[in-house]
Amino acid sequence: MATSHGSKAVFTVQDSGSVVRDLSAYLTSAGMPRSADTADVSTLGSLSKSYIPGLKDGTIPIEGPFDVTVDGYLSGILGYASRAFVYKPQGTGATLPQYAGNCILTSYEVSTPVGDAATFSGEFQITGDVTRTVQ
């Protein structure tokens, strides 16, 4: 059951000068899909496969209307060293979850269709562990 509206989400990331920037006001969408690898450890004579857990992975896709301010932040960190991030999917408040870690901006695209508003999209690759805490 949903307990909060998506518009309450908060996403912050360090810019190229290591200043933490809140990009929430510039985003129409953010997320944090994550996955975990498994390794097949089945042996000869097995009737069913067996697995062990492996490495975790994740990305942070973002998108929104084009803005010169956010363009400066994202252009400055594209392919740059890892940057600290915090993602609060339900917004800010006591007892709400937040995820923190480091990420690398691996893609950034500006789109300017002739019949529509200019937009941007990008994706951060999470590097290292993600920590989940309660605010």
Give residue 13's pLDDT band: very low, low, confident or very high (50, 70, 90).
very high
As a whole-number percent, the residues of the chain with pLDDT over 70 amount to: 99
Q: Is residue 46 predicted with pLDDT exceeding 80? A: yes
Mean pLDDT of the chain: 95
Residue partners of 75: CB distance under 8 A and separation at least 6: 108
| Strand residues in the chain grouped as ranges (E) | 10-14, 20-22, 29-30, 34-40, 51-65, 83-88, 97-111, 119-134
Within 10 A of 62 (CB to CB), how many other CB atoms are there?
23
* pLDDT attached to residue 77: 97
**pLDDT given for residue 133 in this prediction:** 97
Please give the Cα distance from 23 to 72 (Å, whole number): 12
Q: What is the pLDDT at residue 60?
A: 98
Going from N- to C-terminal start, the domains of the chain cover: 11-34+58-134
